Structure 1
C-alpha cells in the first residue's frame, strides 16, 4: 500500500463544483481506497491504495464523473513526491499563503513564465511537474493567467504542507 494525494480540479471554488468532502471520502472508499481523509473544502484527498497510480486515478475519476455527470480532473502525487514539492519551494521566505503551486501531470511547457498573461508583481518558477508562483499582492487579487492553468490545479504552500503532514503522519514543518 502506498499513500497517495489526489488534488481535484475546480471543486468548491467560487461556488462552483460543489462536492461535500464526506461524499468524496465515501466515493474513495467505494472504489477500494483505505485510510481516506480530506482536507478543507477544495478537493484534497489523502488515501492508501495498492493500485498502480494510473489505475487509482482512473477509478477515482470514473467515480467522480458518475457523481458529477462530467469529467473531474484529478492530479495524483505520492506522499514522497508531495514532500519534494514542498521542499523545492523557491520562495521559502515569502508568506506561505501567498505562494501557490500549480500542479500538473507533466512538466510545465517551456517559456511558461514568458507567456504569462495579466502578470503584475507575481514571480513564476517552473518545477518538475508543477509551477511555483509567488503572489506578493495575494492569490485572490491576481489576474495572472498561465496556459497550463487549464490543465492543473493550484494549492497554496500551507495546503501543500498540511497534505504532506497528513500523508506522512509527521507534525508541522
Structure 2
C-alpha cells in the first residue's frame, strides 16, 4: 500500500439528511409564511438565503423559542439508515477521511450529526459559522466577501473550499 489517504466529501442537505435543515426548522417551528415573504424581499434585493435564515432565528428568539427547542426540532430531522451505515463503514476504513462542505450552518449540522452519533466520523466540516448570542442563534456567512464563483451562493463557495 502506498499510504494514500482517501477523502470523501459530503454535502449535507438533501444528501446526508433527507431534507433541507434550514427550511426544516422554519417549517417545524411555524415560520413558513414569514420565511416565504422574507425570501421574496431578499431575492429582489439580491441577498442570499443565509440572511433570511439568520432573520428567522431572530424571529424565533423574539417569539420566545429557545436554543433547546431548536435543538429538539433538529433532532427530529430524518436520516436514511443506509446513509448512517455508509458513513460509519467509510469512517472505519483505514486512511479514509470524511468531510462535509455545506451551505447549511455549524449549529444545525453538528446537532444533527450528534443526534445520529456521526459527529466524530468527520475530520472537517466547512460550513457557515454560528454562535449563540444572548440566547439567540446567529448564523454568519463562511465567506465575508464575494468569492467570484457563479456556481455557488455568495456566502460559501464549495469549489473554492474543495
TM range (shorter): under 0.3
Greater RCO (Cα-Cα under 8 Å, separation 6 or more): 2
Structure 2 length-normalised TM: 0.26
Structure number with higher helix proportion: 2
